Amino acid sequence: MDLTDLTLSEALRALRARQISAVELTEAHLARIEALEPRLGAFLTVTAERALEQARRADERRSRGEEAPLLGIPLGIKDVLCTEGVQTTAGSRILEGFVPPYTATAVQKLFESGAIMLGKTNTDEFAMGSSTENSAYHPTRNPHRLDRIPGGSSGGSAAAVAARMALGALGTDTGGSVRQPAAMCGIVGIKPSYGRVSRYGLIAFASSLDQIGTFGRTVRDAALLLQVIAGHDPMDSTSVNAPVPDYSAALSGEVTGVRIGVPKEYFVSGMQPEVEAAVRAAVAHLEALGAHVREVSLPHTDYGLPIYYLIAPAEASANLARFDGVRYGPRFSDGRGMWEMYRQTRGKGFGSEVKRRIMLGTYALSAGYYDAYYLKAQKGRTLIKRDFDRAFAEVDVIVTPTAPRTAFRLGEKLDDPLQMYLEDIFTLPVNLAGICGISLPCGYDAESLPIGLQILAPAFGEEKALRVAYAYEQSTDWHTRAPAYLEN
């Protein structure tokens, strides 16, 4: 038996039954990483020795009769989440060599649950991108087609899970950066409600939008990870002190009577026809399972992209001001004074996409333009949130495509930022509204590239989205397909 073929849930059952050990499971995934990583580029740092030590401790705990929710499960961690004693770069040269003195709350919760860290996964620099080509170190490739992008910015985590290099992974989602790569790589990605998961220890991009999410090969796998990391954290003032439901209890496989809304604004001209066909077929399938389907309207959807690209860069401009060569990472200076040191460090340390967004955000916040741009964008954000509130008064969940097309070729959109930004057109309104969403596979195009189905629920209604996602997944076989590349 190839242990990397197991899903997270299957591996957990095998571990608890003492059919396999955590060391064996970890060694199998480290061997898969060693075999595939040069071609995929999913990891920035592989922590093999640490992972094996964590695995040995997990086996010792189990031998003493102890159990924990994820005891012995090897995972990947996106390299924007701080890990004590392990380099954390956010995919940027400006943080090269930075070793945090503390661990992010979400990661610490995984460790306390017995999980094992295989390494830190690749990301677009400071999570700014939709293809994981903006990493300062190397791009990540899609396990289904090596000439295609895996999505972004959490492309390393998504590719690692899809390629069977990890049983699950953490990512972050500021405008779609968990759901979009999940769709591109044919796996499941959950973006929780804003405030459901602590952001403490997350290197911030846009503080009012960022949320830590989970990847798994199945809905149950991703839900198990969410169960562990969700909950209030006094270290994060935006963390909401609300009970966390038992997400596994929502996985009944039953959707009879569930009200599903399909927004007319999410089927736009220019969409890849195979994507629209697959999503509409998925909606029809859910209706056949007993759900009630109706059309809904989210009239301010068209404003989502410009609103996002004012608010997110403005917050990035403020958050990234701390990276100046004084406290973190390398310092570049020719001895001509403090301001020149700042200029040289930031000029050489930040990549082009990060510089573009800093400039956009700084302009939007500048004197004389704040009201015209940033303040107006915040008012537009309120309208988008109200659209969702009205829709959820009529339906339980909303079903849409995750992305307008399947994975494009590496390098295809690097010189056209607007086209790159349009890849997140169906995901970023969710972050603006603070609600939750799941992406799961619902088909493949003619080139064997996955298509993602997005299921949205109201804030702190993750169990509603999980219920529908699980029912669809269990009545189809899209989630069982391994990337063809792995079979060659």
Instruction: List the catalytic residues.
Output: 78, 153, 177
User: CA 219 to CA 253: how far, in whole Å?
Assistant: 11
Within the chain, what is the greatest distance between any pair of CA atoms? 71
The count of other CB atoms within 10 Å of the CB of residue 369 is: 13
CB 127 within 8 A of CB 390: no
Residues with Cβ < 8 Å from 292, sequence gap 6 or more? 257, 258, 259, 260
CB 362 within 8 A of CB 111: no
Give the relative orientation of helices 219-229 and 8-16 as an angle to the nearest 10 degrees. 70
User: CA 134 to CA 350: how far, in whole Å?
Assistant: 11
Q: What is the 3-state secondary structure (H, E, C) of 293-330?
A: EEEECCCCHHHHHHHHHHHHHHHHHHHHHHCCCCCCCC
CB 217 within 8 A of CB 188: yes
| Tokens standing for residue 126 | 């400071």
User: CA 476 to CA 267: how far, in whole Å?
Assistant: 23
User: CA 134 to CA 125: how far, in whole Å?
Assistant: 6
* 72 phi-psi bin (left φ>0, alpha ψ -120 to 50, beta other): left
**3-state secondary structure at position 337:** coil
**3-state secondary structure at position 63:** helix
Helix (H) or strand (E) holding 292: strand 292-296
Residues with Cβ < 8 Å from 457, sequence gap 6 or more? 392, 396, 397, 398, 435, 436, 437, 463, 464, 465
Q: Where are the alpha helices (DSSP H) in 293-427?
A: 304-319, 338-349, 352-365, 376-392, 417-421
User: CA 166 to CA 182: how far, in whole Å?
Assistant: 14
Alpha carbon dihedral 212, 468, 476, 152, in 10-degree steps, equals -20
